[in-house]
A and B are shown apart, each in its own frame.
Chain A
Amino acid sequence: MAPRPPLHLAVALDGAGWHPAAWRAPDARPRDLFTAGYWRDLVTEAERGLLDLVTIEDGLALQSADPFRPDDRTDAVRGRLDAVLVAARVAPLTRHVGLVPTVVATHTEPFHVSKAIATLDHVSLGRAGVRVRISARPDEAALFGRRAVPPLDPRGPLAPDQEQLVADLLDEAGDHVEVQRRLWDSWEDDAEIRDAATGRFIDRDRLHYIDFIGRRFSVKGPSITPRPPQGQPVVAVLAHTEPVVRLGARVADVVLVTPRDAADAARLVALVRREQEAAGRGGETVHVLADVAVLLDASPAAARDRREHLDELAGDLVPAGYTGDDAHLVTGTAAELADLLLEWQDAGVSGFRLRPATLPHDLEAVTRALVPLLQDRGAFRQGYATSTLRGHLGLARPANRYATA
């Protein structure tokens, strides 16, 4: 049997953790959520665990119990910082771990986002990525006041006009990524020449207009920011439905999926591969990472007790008890989780994005218990072999689409 390829591991950071009552856990720091120190501690812990990357959640609206409509609850975390800036703030304090903030494509300027992620790549010396999402909420559209979006709950069956709306938003997100990527390439690597003899700082023939024309925006370029160290920072998309998988397979380097079990993981990987093929990217590496929510303790009983206690604190925030939201939830030991990860890896995923139920508890369970177990089984790195996020993910630095030489 061929040796097992090493797993790719990410942790998804969001507020006090993914359980709605996480902020009430004994080791939670709910008063520190808006300080740099809180995020520094989490990200340096992830780096201590040799993880490929952390993602930082973000959204336009204030958090709500139902992710598709606002509420006025006061018993859970409300308020958050801009994820790109959090990533930038921790970048100089870390050296290896990838930094992947969430960015909403729907109302934002691709030009601004592109240079922000390029700059995150510059300040982190090649560790930037971006997870792109859409916004399909009328209350979020009202924050900008530029266009109306009808109410929609993608969990139920969609009417044809709603399906069209989602399709349009996904197309726009695809255009957004396309513009980001073209702008990253709009400077060739050697465009800065500093030629004293001719007085030219740049060779303008190595700068390129991107001339993107789309339905929602047109962007001329070039970027104001030179090409980032990775060439192309890593783009990720979280997909629950086929249209979003299609988008991810078309534009992303990492597609995050939410399988229920190993068979579902295999099905989703096949779907990504099929769509990748259809998008003409059959030869490219597109990682499929499975999202798994984790609530970990030294014994299965301790984990179960902790979950019950958190559910009790959460009350009607989780009417039927916490299930990991859209992701599969593992309540148990790090060894049990390791077994599941290796089983799903055999089903075809290249790694996982783990969602800690509470912070820092479940993050430390990942970095201090899960990681050593995986290392013992030869399934995870013993140390960082590269210093860029593309490097960790085994992605080569891509050639510039505009370079002629």
Chain B
Amino acid sequence: MTRPRKQIHLAAHFPGVNNTTVWSDPRSGSHIDFASFVHLARTAERAKFDFFFLAEGLRLREYNGRIHDLDVVGRPDTFTVLAALAAVTDRLGLAGTINSTFNEPFEVARQFATLDHLSAGRAAWNVVTSWDAFTGENFRRGGFLPQDQRYERAETFLRTATELFDSWRGDEIAADADAGVFLRDPAAGAFRHEDAHFAVRGRFSVPRSPQGRPVILQAGDSDGGREFAASSADAIFTGHNTLEAGRAFHADVKRRLARYGRARDDLKVLPAATFVLGDTDAEAEELAREVTLAQHSGPTALRFLEQVWNRDLSGYDPDGPLPDVDPVDGENTVVQGRASVRLFRDRLATAREWRARAEGEGLSIRQLVVALSGGQTFVGSPATVADRIDALVQADAADGFILVPHLTPGGLDPFADRVVPLLQERGVFRADYTGTTLREHLDLPPLPAPGGGRTGGRSGDVAASRA
């Protein structure tokens, strides 16, 4: 017996403040004007995507003590722009990355519950944690965490927020004008939570939202991150977008679910992916080379190396050989505000490895960085890209993808126009939305409502939660 073909889940990532975004392209528009957000969100909704995704960064990046100026800089407030997008879309999920270090559970829960009401059940929360004092300089507590406490912080923050979401069951509002009864329960919203991070109590002020709580996304790749996702997330955002790495990751996180009494389909694996389309595969390959080169200018290549060297390398020629000096070991003081610096644990070894490769293959700094970047995830004609995406999903290397266009705001348009129809023809991607909530789009089981009943999922009764 063959199993039915898996349905693909797709999300659109608003291009971020890193070198993936080719701002120098004449077609590249504003990253701040609301019109750009509307364009991408409407394209994603027209293509029946599951959700729209916003990343986060709460302090502008710095290199050598100066604000990084080579990539797109600046972004709007996540909650505010998602609430505004709820007005110009009907079905598209609205996912925001919100930090658990520089926020309090009461506020975040209130904002997500509000967003879920205002979008009629389309909110999602990508839970992240920072530990750097650099970002903390913008906030009251300036707080930073020991790195090994970051998942503990994220878990306890999410647990606390969940208690707030669950402090309303969903049936409290009678609004019976004749009887004069607005609330059925005089203690609606009551909560009390104490642990090492939070001691909060009172009454939560937002009645239960259509989904019960936002869909939870998680993006950590470490063992702790995977475990957190397995215990608490509805979808995991990863970088493993090739067949082998994807299958290994997929199998690993799915295996962890049983330990928390969760089914295999309760957590969706959604790798991030870039794409370049052409009329033919050859044309796409050529375009992809151009895009990759544009993403890695000489100065950008030097900044990339600084993540490992931890030195100011601006004196080096990007078209020349790798720096002859060794990296400075210890805390990276040159590059601030980039999560990616932690990928390079042993900088001296990494530098040795890169030097050997550059010498062996005769690569300049820039050529090495282009080679290291791995280029674009999906390159080819629409048919080739549709094949590849479908093959990866059917092979359980992923349950879908979060697509990152390299152009704002029109970068997703060709994908929507040319690839999505092919996936629909194959019967692996929805021809239209069948539900109204993001939980329904992601085919997630309805949440058990506290005190009985279910809200907002596959067979959930949205109306019941809206009293």
Contacts and interface: CB of A to CB of B under 8 A. Distances in A.
Interface of A: 23-24, 28, 30-31, 34-36, 40, 59-62, 70, 72-82, 84-86, 88-93, 107-109, 111-112, 115-116, 118-120, 122-123, 125, 139-140, 142-146, 187, 192, 194, 196, 199-204, 207, 216-222, 224-226, 313, 315
Given A194-B23, A203-B69, A81 B203 contact: no
B186 interface: yes
Given A85-B118, A112-B103, A142 B84 contact: no
B344 interface: no
A192 B72 CA distance: 9
5 contacts: A70-B203, A82-B206, A216-B140, A220-B138, A313-B180
B137 A218 contact: yes
Contact of A34 (B59, B66, B466): B466
Given A80-B206, A116-B77, A142 B200 contact: yes
Nearest to A216: B140
Contacts of A219: 137-139
Interface of B: 23-24, 32-34, 38, 57-60, 66-67, 69-77, 79-81, 83-84, 86-88, 102-104, 106-107, 110-111, 114-115, 117-120, 137-142, 168, 173, 175, 177, 180-189, 198-207, 297-300, 466-467
Nearest to B57: A224
A218 B139 CA distance: 7
Interface SS of chain B: loop
B291 to A, nearest CB: 15
A217 B140 contact: yes
Given A31-B175, A92-B88, A116-B80, A74 B200 contact: no
Nearest to B34: A123
Contact of B84 (A89, A140, A192, A217): A89
Nearest to A183: B138
B317 to A, nearest CB: 15
Contact of B205 (A35, A60, A118): A60
A260 B275 CA distance: 65
A388 to B, nearest CB: 15
B67 A204 contact: yes
A120 B106 contact: no
A252 to B, nearest CB: 21
A75 B138 contact: no
Nearest to A28: B177
Contact of B139 (A111, A194, A201, A313): A111
Contact of A194 (B24, B102, B186, B204): B24
A123 B138 contact: no
A339 B227 CA distance: 68
B210 to A, nearest CB: 10
A62 B188 CA distance: 10
Nearest to A84: B80
B104 A144 contact: yes
B173 A31 contact: yes
A80 B177 CA distance: 18
A137 to B, nearest CB: 10
B69 A111 contact: no
A249 to B, nearest CB: 26
B206 A224 contact: no
Given A62-B205, A74-B183, A219-B139, A91 B84 contact: yes
8 residue pairs, one from A and one from B, having the closest CB atoms = A88-B83, A30-B175, A220-B137, A119-B80, A72-B186, A119-B77, A123-B84, A119-B76
A204 B201 CA distance: 44
Given A75-B180, A89-B86, A202-B69, A218 B202 contact: no
A24 B24 contact: no
B32 A226 contact: yes
Contact of A144 (B76, B106, B168, B183): B106
B346 to A, nearest CB: 30
Given A76-B182, A92-B34, A24 B177 contact: yes
B25 to A, nearest CB: 10
A75 B186 CA distance: 9
Given A91-B87, A201-B70, A75 B182 contact: yes
B286 to A, nearest CB: 21
A146 to B, nearest CB: 7
B182 A77 contact: yes
A40 B88 CA distance: 13
Contact of A145 (B58, B72, B198): B198
Contacts of A217: 139-140
B207 A23 contact: no
Nearest to B467: A31
A220 B119 CA distance: 34
A76 B87 CA distance: 29
Nearest to A210: B138
Nearest to A90: B87
Contact of A30 (B34, B79, B103, B182): B182
Contacts of A143: 106, 200-202
A62 B300 CA distance: 50
A30 B66 CA distance: 53
Given A93-B87, A216-B140, A75 B80 contact: no
